[in-house]
Structure 1
Amino acid sequence: MDINKQKIELWIYSNLELVHLLKLMVLVVSTFIGAKLLEIPHGSWISGTCLVLNRPVVELGGVINRVSQRVSGTIFGAGMSLITLFWFPDNLLIHSLALGVAFPLFSIFIFKSNKYAYQVAILTMLIVLSIGDGWSYEAAYWRSINIAVGGVISVIFIFLLPIHAKKEWRFELSKCLLLISNLYEETLKGDQEDRQKLFEDNTDIITSVRKQRKIFPFVVKESSHFKSHKNEMEDVALRLRKLSGILELLASSVFHSDKGNHLITQLSSIHDKKEIIQSHLHKMSDELLHGYKVTENTEKLVWRSSKLELLKLNEQNLHQEAPLSPYSYIWLNNKFGEEVMKLEENLYILF
């Protein structure tokens, strides 16, 4: 990948909210000016539709479904309103009954699997029926047309300046792996002064995993490769959560007990493998960040927990309580390393 292009992409996906805000500003303002210059009746609905459809960060593939729901909901809502107004103009009782009937009609039958479309249909009926006779037909017609136009413009805009879910996931996953590596290193240091920051970092890891899960549906829509490997994607999220859980348990033990802090900072069986485990975390993070293929792991970790070391430590701490035994600390570190290696296998398949 070209270095300059890579830097631009890194900045974009690291500042996604800001970039999206600027894109949305340009889209809404330009459609507003265009509607005014062309004197389109009810033209503000074009800008309004673009704003609603692109309000959250929209990944490529996500906007089309939302556009179709909004347009279909508007058409059905406007159509039912026009029929009601044609047969029963200025009849509050019938208008109220029509709204009441519309709820089960749209939510249960017409838009059973598209709840957003049903809400748009009801909202459209409320707007059209409340305008008043004489303006309702024209308003329903133009608003339906303008919402459809706004939907088309949104789709074109998304394809011109796309946010690729796959790239978004790569950058988020890369950042998450670095957070895990840093938290792992700081936990093994056992620095009591940093414990509040470490617990905050663990919260950031959990937040990142949740964000990645939200991106998954859009990744699957963009790529048939990922669609056929949805299980591996879920495994990645699961392993990240396991790594976070192990670190949370270790950190809780270390920072709530001086004895636990002493043990984890002295166990050579843990620190011997720290650099190896971290090297794998950093390798995966760098490969994801720079768009390289994740290389296959050929290294096998051999756990040589010294029985003499454990027996000696147990004897030394026989009369002093610690949250976990020396064996438990070593076992948790081993599980952490194993999960890192399994995660690398998943990423090799996916990327």
Structure 2
Amino acid sequence: MLLGRLRDPFINHRHRRLFHVLRVSLALIVTFAIVQTFPFQHSGWALVSTVMVMGNLPHIGGVLDKGRQRLAGTLIGAALGLALIILPLPGWGVQLGALIGIAIATWVVFGGRQAYSGLMFAISLLLVIGDGSQQLSVALWRSADVLLGTLVGIGATLVFLPHKATDMLRFLLADCLDRMARLYHTHTSATSAPGIDTQALFKAASQLLVKQRGLTDAVHREGRLTRGEVDELISYQRRMLSTLELLLETHWTTRAGHEQIDAMAGLRDQQHALARDLGTLAFEVRTGRPVTLEVTPFALDDFADLASTARAEDGRMLFSPSGYLWLNRELARLTEATARRLGGLERLPSRRLRRRAPRHGLHRAPSFDRKEGTTHGKRPS
């Protein structure tokens, strides 16, 4: 029972800071126990490596990516350092060889995803050669310490309270969709210009997009979604947010245009239906269900004549109603495209999330209160 709760993705995500602290502490305890039990020399480097590979990355994908780069950089750098020590070179020759190797590595990884490998290559190389007169045994021990610390860090992340970057992306995506649903519903239910609450929702959704972008490599390393698939999901959300921003501005361009929009019977019902679809999409993603949502089509035929003939009191043609209607339809189209793309990701649904969701009160998608503009239904923080 306790083990099931500790491996619950909802709990792991909610308490990821605490679990990461515990994970790093346990990894250090294991490393310290190993170096105390076995005769490791220069063992401080093992402890340093454990902390460096785990760092501030609370999820498996990030540590795997960083650990892989650290292992590659360490092995190559240590191998070159050992070769420079073994070869009959003077002290300045060893230092020159190290300088050339670091220069080449810096050139190769510059601006790429393997920058950390280049950093670890340089650190390992300099660690092994020391001042150019390093003994072979010292170089070997230091290399072994770095490898030990790296492997312990990776192992602790995989075994102890594992937290997946894919789950973190899933919750961030669901939260972003949920905020967009609330933002859209608040906008369509408002009787005055957008205020602080609307701006706060928009800012929060934008921040969630930035966080998702930072998870791309980690999610790819876990093997459930590719970088291209993550980029595509982020692109859809970014375009939806941009459309929502334009909707806010278009709706309040002129009072006359606003009155024309209010006169369109049935428009608010379609908007509320789209807000509910966005909330349902967020619910399906958050609970690990296969995405089967069919977005309600946003029909504009009933409003076309009124929008095309809208005029101000002075007889001037109003373009706001037409643009506003088009933006609503575009938001519906992007929502449908996002749902269809999510439905096509066979490895995104999670059986464990579906099984644990009822324990967190997630039985059904949250519904909107038309008067209050709020959602009813529990969501994990």
Sort the TM-score into its range (normalised by shorter chain): 0.7 to 0.9
Do the aligned partners of 2:102 and 2:121 also contact (CA within 8 Å) in 1?
no
Q: Specify whether residues 94 and 311 from structure 1 end up closer, same or farther in structure 2 by C-alpha distance, changes over 3 A only.
A: closer
Partner of 2:240: 243
Deviations 1:217-249 (A, max 9, x none): 44444446x45xx76654432221111001111
Matches within 5 A, 1:82-97: 82-85=82-85, 87-88=88-89, 91=91, 93-97=92-96
Match of 1:270 among 267, 270, 288: 267
Q: CA deviation at 1:107?
A: 4.7
Alignment equivalent of 2:343, drawn from 333, 344, 348: 348
Q: Is the 8 A contact 2:277 2:296 kept in 1?
A: no
Q: What are the superposed Cα offsets for residues 55-101 of structure 1, whole Å, 9 maximum, x if unpaired? A: 13254355444334323423333343344445345x3x434422322
- 1:264–1:182 distance in 2 versus 1, CA, 3 Å: farther
Q: CA deviation at 1:137?
A: 3.0
Greater helix content: 1
* Inter-partner Cα distance in structure 2 for 1:84 and 1:279: 66
Is residue 305 of structure 1 aligned with residue 302 of structure 2?
yes
Distance (whole Å) between structure 1 residues aligned to residue 46 and residue 7 of structure 2: 34
- C-alpha offsets along residues 2-22 of structure 1, whole Å, 9 cap, x if unaligned? xx8599422322343443233
Which residue does the alignment assign to 1:43? 43
Whether contact under 8 Å (1:310, 1:326) holds in the other structure is yes
Q: Distance in 2 between matches of 1:306 and 1:94?
A: 81
Q: Give the TM-score of the pair, scaled to structure 2.
A: 0.74
1:315 corresponds in structure 2 to 311
- Give the C-alpha shift of residue 286 in structure 1: 1.4
How far off its partner does 1:175 sit?
Answer: 0.7
Any conservation in 1 of the 2:243–2:331 contact (CA below 8 Å)? yes
Q: 2: CA distance between counterparts of 1:246 and 1:339?
A: 9
What secondary structure does 2:334 align onto? helix
Cα offset, 1:27, TM superposition: 1.9
The one-letter code sitting in structure 1 at the alignment partner of 2:11 is W
Change (3 A) 1:219 1:172: same
Describe the SS at the equivalent of 1:305: helix
Cα distance in 1 between the residues matched to 2:191 and 2:46? 56
Identity fraction in percent: 19
Residue 20 (1) aligns with residue 20 (2):
yes
Distance 1:43 1:191, change over 3 A: farther
- Cα deviation for residue 167 of structure 1 reads 2.1
Quote the Cα distance in structure 2 between the aligned partners of 1:54 and 1:220: 18
Q: Deviations over 1:153-180 (max 9, x none)?
A: 2232222133223322221111111010
Cα gap change, 1:306/1:79 in structure 2, threshold over 3 Å: closer, same or farther? closer
SS at match of 2:234: helix
- Please tell me the root mean square deviation across aligned C-alpha atoms, in Å: 3.6
Q: Which residue of 1 aligns with 2:358?
A: none
Aligned letter for 2:240?
L
Structure 2: segments with no counterpart, 5+ residues: 350-381
Please list the CA deviations of residues 196-217 of structure 1 after superposition, one character each: whole Å capped at 9, or x if unmatched: 3423422332332333344344
Partner of 2:366: none
1:285 corresponds in structure 2 to 282
TM-score (norm 1): 0.80
Q: After the TM superposition, which of the residue ranges 231-240 and 115-124 deviates more from structure 2?
A: 231-240
Structure 1: tracts of 5 or more residues without a match: none
Counterpart code for 2:171? F
Give the secondary structure class of the aligned counterpart of 1:315: coil
Offset, 1:276: 1.0
